Amino acid sequence: MTADSFFAGGIGLATLNARGQCIEAYYPEPQLQPEADMLRDFFSAAQLEQDTACRLLTRDQVRACNNSPRLAELAASEAWHDAKRGLIVTVIRRDRPLTSVAESYLKLHLLSHRLVKPNAVNLQGIFKILPTLAWTNEGAIEAGAINLRLREARLAGRGLHIFALDKFPPLLDYVVPAGVRIADTARVRLGAYLGLGTTIMPAGFINFNAGTLGPNMVEGRISQGVVLDAGSDLGGGASTMGTLSGGNDTLISVGRSCLIGANAGIGIALGDNCTVEAGLYVTAGAKVVLQAEGKTVRARELSGRDGMLLRRNSQHGYIECLPNSREFALRAELHE
């Protein structure tokens, strides 16, 4: 058993449904390519076979963890050894399509802990695997059980507040990345990658498997699979085209020092030092006039180019591309 033969692993605190199945898991210290001694902890704790992806720990197995300093803190918490919660060990040998809820949450944690970057981990099958849950002040509850729990809470004289009904929880309920600001925590999902110095304003949104390399200003929508490189600004109401719906199968990226204006949008990748005029949505099939070259092309042919200024011609209304003569820079004091 060698460390380089395993992709990832972790000890998680799992929520269980009435059938004893894991419906979500929190991994305080997920491990990418775990070291040999950590692997020994994983396998000895749960008595895993090498091809086993995950296993809930029994009470006896939890008590046996006390000889490991890494597991002692989790093992000491008796609150996690009842019918609704438990400790779970997850080990991933190869980065392959997902097979379980526990494995799915481990990979989402890897992204938000900045251990892997968006589009660098296999998340195939995640929508079929993750259950829709009610995210409440009493933890995650299966959607089919929420009405019963609401009634029980009212009869007991306490309030049960439902924050969301979704497959993906808010990021900050699981991971708090260092050096970021998030104005509305409900608008950033677990599995988002936030680079150091990123600021997300109240209208900003970042989906799972997407994010920023930091520092960045986010006032618009970063869809699944989209990545903003350092020093770029996504303006208020601006949008980036993802790959989850609408037929788009091309990953969109934004280079360094780019400005996408308010209510603008992109369906192509941008290289470094690009500007998209406020209110302009550049889809891949849109016709763009290259003023410097005297020709018209589809926007997809410009994907990834550096130094573009994309705007509407004020006289004729067509989209034109000019050399971007102004270099954009974020205000440093907002991202320290």
Active site (catalytic) residues:
219
Give Cβ neighbours of residue 19 (< 8 Å, ≥ 6 apart): none
How many C-beta atoms surround the C-beta of residue 159 within 10 A?
11
Distance (Å, whole) CA 15 – CA 139: 8
Two tokens, residue 161:
């507040």
- Nearest-angstrom CA–CA distance, 180 and 188: 12
Biggest CA-to-CA distance, the chain:
76
Q: Which residue type, as a one-letter code, is found at position 287?
A: K
Tell me 156's DSSP state. Answer: T
Instruction: Say if CB 22 and CB 15 are below 8 A apart.
Output: yes
Reported as type and span, the H/E element at residue 46 is helix 36-46
Contact 241, 294 (CB under 8 A): no
DSSP state of 324: -
Length of the chain in residues, anyone? 336
Which has the closest alpha carbon to 5: 30, 35, 47, 43? Answer: 35
User: Are the C-beta atoms of 103 and 122 separated by less than 8 Å?
Assistant: no
Q: Which residues pair with 89 in a beta bridge?
A: 11, 55
**Neighbour count for residue 300 (Cβ, 10 Å):** 16
Strand partners for 254: 228, 270
